[in-house]
Amino acid sequence: MVSIRCKMILKSELEKLNLHYHKIDLGEVEIMENISDLQRVQLAGALKKSGLELMEDKKAILIERIKNVIIEMVHYSDNPPKTNFSDYLSSTLDYDYTYLSNLFSEVTGVTIEHYIIAHKIERVKELLIYNELSLTEISYLLNYSSVAHLSYQFKKVTGLTPTYFKQLKEKRRNTLDKV
């Protein structure tokens, strides 16, 4: 799950099945009671109709958790952690980073580092389009070591400089699930 809409759909489907939950976060839900096989099948079918998927494979669930931590950290956190991402992911998910990194790369075909960079660049695009922050403020907000580093990564990913991108108002951003 990567959006508020996904959470709303899940809440609605859980209520229809009379299932109670402790919390719903991006990519996971804690259901208070034991769920029957029939309820599981009904929930999976209802989610599939909405374009969502019920995951039960432990590796797939961990990959989703990694993605959700990264999305939350890059797109929704006002104060991204000042530690490096490997330490943050490892402590947040309570797994050794090497294991997380190897699993993520093996399953997705992309490294965690490249996944983070792709999301950071999407966040930079968003902030540039809003035009409320300077490039210096954006680089500070997203924990880049310098504006030059942000600009280098931006150009490497998009093929454009941040300044040129800012001038292209018609350039559309990718949705988070397409990153």
Residue pLDDT, tens place only, 57-96: 788 889 989 999 999 889 888 777 777 889 999 999 999 9
**Phi/psi of residue 20, each to 5°?**
-105, 150
Does residue 174 register a pLDDT over 70?
Answer: no
- Per-residue pLDDT band at 171 (split at 50, 70, 90): low
| CATH 1.10.10.60 segments of the chain | 59-173
- Per-residue pLDDT band at 172 (split at 50, 70, 90): low
Q: What one-letter code names the amino acid at 85?
A: F
Identify the pLDDT of residue 6. Answer: 79
Cα torsion 111, 139, 75, 124: sign? negative
Identify the pLDDT of residue 1. Answer: 42
Q: Write down the CATH superfamily of domain 59-173.
A: Homeodomain-like (1.10.10.60)
Higher pLDDT, 26 or 157: 157
Residue range 116-129, pLDDT digits in tens: 999 999 999 999 98
Identify the pLDDT of residue 21. Answer: 85
Q: Please state the length of the chain.
A: 179
Residue range 14-69, pLDDT digits in tens: 888 888 888 887 667 888 888 888 888 888 888 888 888 777 778 888 998 999 99
Element (H, E) at 125: helix 112-130
- For the record, the structure tokens of 160 come out as 């454009």
